[in-house]
Amino acid sequence: MNIEVKNLNKSFDDFQLKNVNIEVPKGKIVGLIGENGAGKTTLIKCILGAMFKDSGEVKLFNKEYDNSLKDDIGVVYDNSFIIETYNIKDLNLIMKNIYKNWDQKLFFKYIEEYNLPLKKEIRKLSTGMKKKLEIITAICHHPKVLILDEPTSGLDPVIRSEVLDLFQDFVNNNDNSILLSTHITSDLEHIADNVIFISKGEIIFDKPLKEIKDDYIVLDVDKEELKNIAKKDIIRYKENRIDYQVLIHKKNMKTKYEKYIKRITALDDIMLLYIRGV
């Protein structure tokens, strides 16, 4: 197991991570989803040792985080960590002195492949170029794990697709893994093996994506049809302007519900109904 969190607790005045248990297996891309303030970034900071936990256990490669693990971990935060007055050549020289496994050849291969300008100051690059540069930098010291906090936020669909390809290349054919925190759940539907859903500091589920898709179904019904669905079969429901969305387990689908409109269940639907439904 590349990342293992057991019974993690962290309290603030107005928020608490409560008894969090998650795993990021070797060779897997694990998505981390939840509303703003759900605890995603706090969880990531506890994993990386950037925030003290109150109790529980956090292990990377079967040991507690310390500085000796930095070469095995690549990190990309929502906000850039790169000094923007540097250019890409400057950045390469700096990384060579930080990481013993820094792969200059691979770095410039990616720079060429993604058409990033070598001599332009990083602050003058587009948002998409900066984000690709951050991800390439995180990959090119050959870490075993990437931990990514909103890495595709603000990117257009074409650049997001290129970034997702980078992630899949990183994981393919080896024991590398990724923990990817994102609000763009459609990205996870393309690349994630497992999905962790956290809300108000608690884990709602931690399951393979395929199992989630096989587990849940969303029905669109009117007020009278809602009355015909047994309360014990309803996980959550939400009233819209003209109808109701109802989340149920597929195992509870009754023949009498087959007449109702079913939608292809997306992670967004499940998350929204858990958070805003009743």
Interval 206-256: pLDDT, tens: 999 999 988 999 999 999 999 999 999 999 999 998 899 999 988 887 777
How far apart (Å, rounded) are the C-alpha atoms in residues 48 and 64? Answer: 9
User: How many residues are given for the chain?
Assistant: 278
pLDDT tens per residue, range 11-58: 999 999 999 999 999 999 999 999 999 999 999 999 999 999 999 999
Rounded distance, CA 166 to CA 160, Å?
A: 10
pLDDT(88) > 90: yes
Task: Tell me the two tokens of residue 183.
Answer: 């609000």
Q: What's the mean pLDDT in 89-102? A: 94
Q: What pLDDT digit, counting tens, does each position of 104-117 carry?
A: 999 999 999 989 99
More confident residue, 265 or 239: 239
> What is the CA angle 172-183-218, rounded to 5?
95
Strands (E), 94-176: 145-149
Query: What number is the average pLDDT over the span 169-175?
Result: 87
Tens of pLDDT, residue by residue over 179-201, are 999 999 999 999 999 999 999 99
**Roughly how many angstroms between the first and final C-alpha of the chain, as a whole number?**
36
Q: Token pair for residue 18? A: 């409560």
Confidence of residue 81 (pLDDT cuts 50, 70, 90): low
Q: Are 185 and 33 in contact (CB under 8 A)?
A: yes
The pLDDT score that the predictor gives to residue 45 is 94
Task: Indicate whether 65 pLDDT > 90.
Answer: no
Residue type, 217: I
Share of the chain above pLDDT 90, in %: 71
- Of 155 and 226, which is predicted with more confidence? 226
Contact between 228 and 256 (Cβ < 8 Å): yes
Q: What is the pLDDT of residue 80?
A: 66
- Over residues 168-176, the mean pLDDT reads 89
Q: What is the rounded distance in angstroms from the CA atom of residue 275 to the CA atom of residue 200?
A: 9
pLDDT over 70 (residue 68): yes
